[in-house]
Amino acid sequence: MTKLALVTGGNKGIGFETVRQLAGQHIKVLLGARNEEEGKNAEKVLRGESLDVTFIKLDISNSQDIENAKTYIENEFGQLDILINNAAVFLDSAWFGNNVESVPMKTLRDTFDINYFGTVELTQALLPLVKKSDAGRIVNISSVSGSFGAHLDESHWLYQLKPYAYSASKTALNQFTVFLANALKETNIKVNAASPGWVKTSIGSDQAPLTTEEGAKTGVALALLDNNGPTGTFSQSGEVLPW
């Protein structure tokens, strides 16, 4: 039976490339996007490449959208094999410097609404469907910016980059990864966090060294883990990252 995957924020950047790479593995992919026009355009492009991709409207900060997605997947497919939590926002004013003393509360709340609360709410809603899969995979697209280890290491390339809202939201996402992997350790479901690296996207900017194709590879690899693969890990390109 064909596997079913859902990728949030699948209309552009790393999400779009993740959809493409998964569909290229003969997986049916639901492309979640909050912007209907952009989502349908992305679907059209990928279908033009003979890929089995279907757009679904999904703003993960909208509880009704989450409920609609759950009902649709339940009624149409009965289960979900792969969930890639990719949707994210970067609302800090800049990557460089440390804005912890001045970041507006609205920036923090709006960032956490998508990067953390929406991701947790969606995952909780879809978990019963993932549990019906023979080998469920949940991948949280995180960032090395969420790593305490990186931010405490003065020799790390990230050390000077301390956008607080974004970084804190990814740290919280990492904690969710650890706890969910623990809760599901007696099941066939594997839960892992992926750092795509510094990628040329609207968040990463044109200065980034990696293409979206390269950035998507870590998440896709974790989505395709076999039964011997790890759970509860944080990695980039097969290299374990410090929490």
State the CATH number of the domain containing residue 153: 3.40.50.720
Q: Which of 164, 166, 190, 200 is catalytic?
A: 166
Q: What is the mean pLDDT of residues 66-77?
A: 98
Q: What is the mean pLDDT of residues 50-76?
A: 98
Task: Give backbone dihedrals phi and psi of 87, rounded to 5 degrees, phi first.
Answer: -55, 130
Structural domain boundaries enclosing 127: 4-240
60 near 8, Cβ under 8 Å? Answer: yes
DSSP letter assigned to residue 156:
S
209: pLDDT strictly greater than 70? no
165 near 205, Cβ under 8 Å? Answer: no
Give 11-49 pLDDT, tens digit per residue. Answer: 999 999 999 999 999 999 999 999 999 999 999 999 999
User: Looking at the whole model, is its pTM more than 0.75?
Assistant: yes
- C-alpha torsion 60→64→67→68, nearest 10: -100
Domain count, the chain: 1
- Told to judge if 159 belongs to the known catalytic residues of this protein, a careful annotator would answer no
- Told to judge if 166 belongs to the known catalytic residues of this protein, a careful annotator would answer yes
Q: What is the pLDDT of residue 196?
A: 87
Give 128-182 pLDDT, tens digit per residue. Answer: 999 999 999 999 999 999 999 999 999 998 899 999 999 999 999 999 999 999 9
Q: Which of 3, 70, 170, 217 is catalytic?
A: 170
Q: What is the pLDDT of residue 18?
A: 96
CA dist 112 to 62, 125, 162, Å?
13, 18, 16
Bridge-based pairing of strands 97-98 and 82-85 is unpaired
Q: What is the pLDDT of residue 122?
A: 98
